[in-house]
Structure 1
Amino acid sequence: MDFNIVEKLLAITLLGSEWVLWMLMILSVVSVAVIIERAVFFSRTKLDFSRFSHEITKKIIDQDIEGAKQLCQESPAIESQIVLRGLDYASKSPEAMDQSMSSYIVGERQKLDHGLVILGTLGNNAPFIGLFGTVIGIIQAFNDLANNPAGGPSVVMAGISEALVATAVGLLVAIPAVIAYNGYQRLVKRRISNAEAMKRIVVAQFSK
């Protein structure tokens, strides 16, 4: 018996594109959940960096280490916590402070980046998943026409219009994911940059 791979694949595609739509709906829920979780996280760790850097620098210059630690403990932001980590090593060498703070930044970056790979993946691939559903729908539409030639172009047009819904849903999932991904990536870079700046300020003060 001959094995016709085209017929086998056609049989799979004729199952319809509804399952693709369900997949996109599930992915949209995942995307929204990640967007909300990241929004809450960045909101909770928000810090007035300009004011904080001015106050913490003044306390370190005045050698008010306990006051500086207390100020850092008031916020869970990476900018304040990295200073606290450095101050914990104040009794050691500036090199030890620098290494400790650098290690802390590496660990905290993983927390900042958490979930962003999901948004990036959905933003890049959701349109292709939607396009895949559209292609399946078009194949099914032409197959319906082949089985019902009397139906005319209306049979194909109805099937194609339904198939295009998959592409629209794919874009609907991708666009918010891309916007959120770009926005959160910018926030991550800004906070890492702020943390690096605080590290240099603290190490410079204790290197004198």
Structure 2
Amino acid sequence: MSTATWYLIVIKSLRQLRIRKHKRAFLNCFWEAANFDDVSHYLHDTGIHDPFSHLTHHGLRAVDQYHNRSGNRLVESGSADEFLTRALRRAIEQDTARLEYGLTILASVASSAPFIGLFGTVWGIYHALVTIGMTGQSGLDQVAGPVGEALIMTALGLAVAIPAVLAYNAFARANRLLLTELDGFAHDLFAFMATGILSDHRLPTKAALKSRGA
């Protein structure tokens, strides 16, 4: 359990750092781009390494699919806004699943490790008392050693559970903040595409978008 916990802590920490790095680079490109063609070229050259670029990729692909749809499939039904909304929702759901990978394991370890350690302690004390009863020696020297060894199991359980609890809370908070930011970006992206900005190949600046909402 301890090995799995620290493996997830290291892997998810590195992933969070990588996501922040690529997110910052992509958003800088997105808001500085003159049009969606520049964004598409950036995604083609650098790849998709964060939820924001993944969401934009799904949006661009959805627009292309809608313009080239045959209309014979259920997935192609509905208006352009509905088609784009479904594509962006699927992308957010996929990113949410990726971000939450491993959190269930951390939560399970955090909740079960103390009880497993306590069970080991009780089991150790039981055997220590049985041994004392068989030997007939009940002095402090005979009791302290076995009981102390049994209590180590509780300490080991806590040593496994505490890092798991702290890691779970930290990753859950980081995911919540990232998904909140991603949701806001999805609304901006939908507004750009649904209002026909994409067809004009013009991408408004972030300041212009804020002035429109004022």
Q: When the two structures are superposed, what TM-score results if normalisation uses the length of structure 1?
A: 0.77
In structure 2, what is the equivalent of residue 41 of structure 1? 15
Per-residue displacement from partner, 1:112-145 (whole Å, max 9, x unpaired)? Answer: 1111111110011101100000011111121122
Give 2:30's aligned amino acid: I
Contact 1:130/1:168 (<8 A) preserved = yes
CA RMSD of aligned residues (A): 2.0
Contact 2:22/2:50 (<8 A) preserved = no
Are 1:106 and 2:77 an aligned pair?
A: no
Are 1:178 and 2:152 an aligned pair?
A: no
What is the percentage of aligned positions where both structures have the same residue? 26
- Mapped to 2, the partners of 1:88 and 1:132 lie a distance apart of 54
Are 1:145 and 2:132 an aligned pair?
A: yes
In structure 2, what is the equivalent of residue 68 of structure 1? 39
Of 133, 138, 148, 1:161 maps to: 148
The 10-residue stretch of structure 1 (161-170 or 71-80) with the greater mean CA deviation from structure 2? 71-80
SS at match of 1:76: coil
Contact 1:137/1:160 (<8 A) preserved = yes
- Mapped to 2, the partners of 1:125 and 1:180 lie a distance apart of 15
Contact 1:72/1:80 (<8 A) preserved = yes
- Mapped to 1, the partners of 2:179 and 2:58 lie a distance apart of 15
Per-residue displacement from partner, 1:77-115 (whole Å, max 9, x unpaired)? Answer: 001210121122234423212210101111221111111
Contact 2:124/2:146 (<8 A) preserved = yes
- Mapped to 1, the partners of 2:126 and 2:4 lie a distance apart of 29
- Mapped to 2, the partners of 1:178 and 1:118 lie a distance apart of 11
Alignment of 1:91-130 (within 5 A): 91=64, 92=66, 93-130=80-117
Contact 2:23/2:51 (<8 A) preserved = no
Give 1:41's aligned amino acid: R
Give 1:128's aligned amino acid: F
- Mapped to 1, the partners of 2:176 and 2:42 lie a distance apart of 24
Q: Which runs of 5+ in 1 are unaligned?
A: 1-26
Q: Which runs of 5+ in 2 are unaligned?
A: 67-79, 196-214
Aligned residues: 179
In structure 1, what is the equivalent of residue 201 of structure 2? none
The 10-residue stretch of structure 1 (151-160 or 100-109) with the greater mean CA deviation from structure 2? 151-160
Shift of 1:51: 7.0
Contact 1:109/1:192 (<8 A) preserved = yes
In structure 1, what is the equivalent of residue 188 of structure 2? 201
Contact 2:23/2:50 (<8 A) preserved = no
- Mapped to 1, the partners of 2:28 and 2:137 lie a distance apart of 79
Contact 1:127/1:170 (<8 A) preserved = yes
The 10-residue stretch of structure 1 (150-159 or 171-180) with the greater mean CA deviation from structure 2? 150-159
